[in-house]
Amino acid sequence: EIHEPEEVSVWFREGSSCCQETLARNQRFTETPVNMPGADKETDLSERIESFLSELKRCGSGAGSLRGSAETARETTALLRRITAQARWGNAGELMEIIRKEGRRMTAAQPSETTVGNMIRRVLKIIREEYARSRGSSEETDQQESLHKLLTSGGSSEDNFRQHFTHLKANVIEAINELLTELEGTTDNISMQALEHIHSNEVIMTIGRSRTVEAFLKDAARKRKFHVIVAECAPFCQGHEMATSLCKEDIETTVIPDAAIFAVMSRVNKVIIGTQTVLANGGLRAVNGTHTLALAAKHHSTPLIVCAPMFKLSPQFPNEEDTFHKFVSPHEVLPFTEGEILSKVNAHCPVFDYVPPELITLFISNIGGNAPSYIYRLMSELYHPEDHEL
């Protein structure tokens, strides 16, 4: 009950313009007449979309992520496949329009959950590719908006998507299936690289709880013996869960409070962390406390390795002041039992931290290891520049 006011106010602050749009769209969907043949499909689809949106809104408040990003990514992609299959569209342009609209609603429901937006952009890119392939033109020429093309074509790419192709639907759905299989295998792909990076008798530090890092360390622990120090990451203390889970695989684990990060850093060989989002400049949006950890690692020249699957890569930049930070109820920090001083004190409880790319040594993703300076290139392969703004 206590979470409600904060959650709603966050949503309103960041998505107030979308609120009216959502209401309007809801009305449009529910007004569909019942006796039309496609009506069942549509109402079913809209129900699913609504339930997905409400789940997104609920999960976002407080207490970390109740569902991992991988799950969210999978569900988003599955939902997009359903939209492709069941919604009514004639050509690629219409489909992209529908997906964009739904995408805007989804990102508005939980702006901090960037995997939703990332998946939408991936699907849009898939549609573009399939369209281009159906049209017969080779993929490479349409891939990059080269300066030459911009000058000669005159920027009229919108009409290109108006042609109708019968097999476009099947192709797109097949491509989305491939994307889903890729998503299923990301954690395994990352864990397979664990032995290349962890040698025996190392002391590894991590912060909070990341399922990717957990799988990474457990995979390495099957063959090597090393020691893990987990910073508990107040106030949610997800590090405790991480530690107990690692101990089940007989990994020597120590839990330290956040204040001791710099004190023990001199004995740490590597820092391996997960992240919520990888930003377009190679920086991170990670759980709070990560920036301190990164600075301490830099001071001791300890390598900082980020395990992040590709679906976390987002074309956002860290400059937006209002939308970068997400806050939860300050009673996590200063509980209501503190009494009189509560009204006279501002308490803040930010959830995320920005880590600049200079502090990061390596990104390990399902397609291999990369330096932060290479992230912009990966992004251009995953997303089309026109889709950066949904």
- Does the protein bind other proteins through residue 296 (CB under 8 A)? yes
CA pair distance 109, 99, nearest whole angstrom: 15
Residues 68 and 183 sit within 8 Å (Cβ to Cβ):
no
- Does the protein bind other proteins through residue 263 (CB under 8 A)? yes
- Does the protein bind other proteins through residue 236 (CB under 8 A)? yes
Stretch that binds other proteins, among 39-47, 76-84, 118-126, 227-235 (CB under 8 A): 227-235
CA pair distance 145, 221, nearest whole angstrom: 46
Which of 5, 90, 257, 385 is close enough to bind other proteins by CB under 8 A? 257
Residues 264 and 271 sit within 8 Å (Cβ to Cβ):
no
- Does the protein bind other proteins through residue 288 (CB under 8 A)? yes
Query: In angstroms, how far is the first alpha carbon of the chain from the final one?
Result: 33
- Does the protein bind other proteins through residue 253 (CB under 8 A)? yes
> How is residue 125 written in tokens?
């890119």
Supply the minimum distance, in Å, between the C-beta of residue 304 and other proteins: 14
> How is residue 138 written in tokens?
């080779």
CA pair distance 210, 369, nearest whole angstrom: 18
Supply the minimum distance, in Å, between the C-beta of residue 11 and other proteins: 21
- Residue number, 189 or 292, with CB nearest to other proteins: 292
CA pair distance 28, 220, nearest whole angstrom: 53
- Residue number, 175 or 204, with CB nearest to other proteins: 204
If DSSP codes are grouped into helix, strand and coil, which group holds residue 32?
coil
CA pair distance 302, 268, nearest whole angstrom: 7
- Does the protein bind other proteins through residue 243 (CB under 8 A)? yes
List, in sequence order, the alpha helices (H) in 31-91: 39-59, 69-86
- Does the protein bind other proteins through residue 219 (CB under 8 A)? no
| Inter-axis angle of helices 39-59 and 69-86, nearest 10 | 160
CA pair distance 190, 185, nearest whole angstrom: 9
| Max CA pair span of the chain | 71
Total residues interacting with other proteins, rule: CB under 8 A: 50
- Residue number, 36 or 259, with CB nearest to other proteins: 259
- Does the protein bind other proteins through residue 201 (CB under 8 A)? no
- Residue number, 127 or 265, with CB nearest to other proteins: 265
CA pair distance 289, 298, nearest whole angstrom: 14
Stretch that binds other proteins, among 110-118, 158-166, 226-234, 371-379 (CB under 8 A): 226-234
Supply the minimum distance, in Å, between the C-beta of residue 277 and other proteins: 16
- Residue number, 256 or 390, with CB nearest to other proteins: 256
- Does the protein bind other proteins through residue 244 (CB under 8 A)? yes
Which of 18, 78, 192, 260 is close enough to bind other proteins by CB under 8 A? 260
- Residue number, 196 or 358, with CB nearest to other proteins: 358
Which x/- pattern, by CB under 8 A, does the window 55-94 give for other proteins? --------x-------------------------------
Which x/- pattern, by CB under 8 A, does the window 336-355 give for other proteins? --x--x--xxxxxxx--xx-
Supply the minimum distance, in Å, between the C-beta of residue 238 and other proteins: 9
- Does the protein bind other proteins through residue 250 (CB under 8 A)? yes
Supply the minimum distance, in Å, between the C-beta of residue 6 and other proteins: 16
Residues 310 and 363 sit within 8 Å (Cβ to Cβ):
no
- Does the protein bind other proteins through residue 333 (CB under 8 A)? yes
Closest CA to 389 of 318, 334, 316, 326: 316
Identity of the residue numbered 235: P
CA 194 to chain centre: 22
> How is residue 370 written in tokens?
């990369």
How many CA atoms, within 13 angstroms, populate the side-chain half-sphere of residue 17? 3
- Does the protein bind other proteins through residue 235 (CB under 8 A)? yes
Q: Which of residues 297-326 bind other proteins (CB under 8 A)?
A: 299, 325
Distances in whole angstroms, Cα of residue 132 to Cα of each of 101, 114, 152, 168, 238 = 22, 27, 19, 10, 46
Residues that bind other proteins (CB under 8 A): 63, 232-237, 240-241, 243-244, 247, 250-264, 266-267, 288-289, 291-292, 295-296, 299, 325, 333-334, 338, 341, 344-350, 353-354
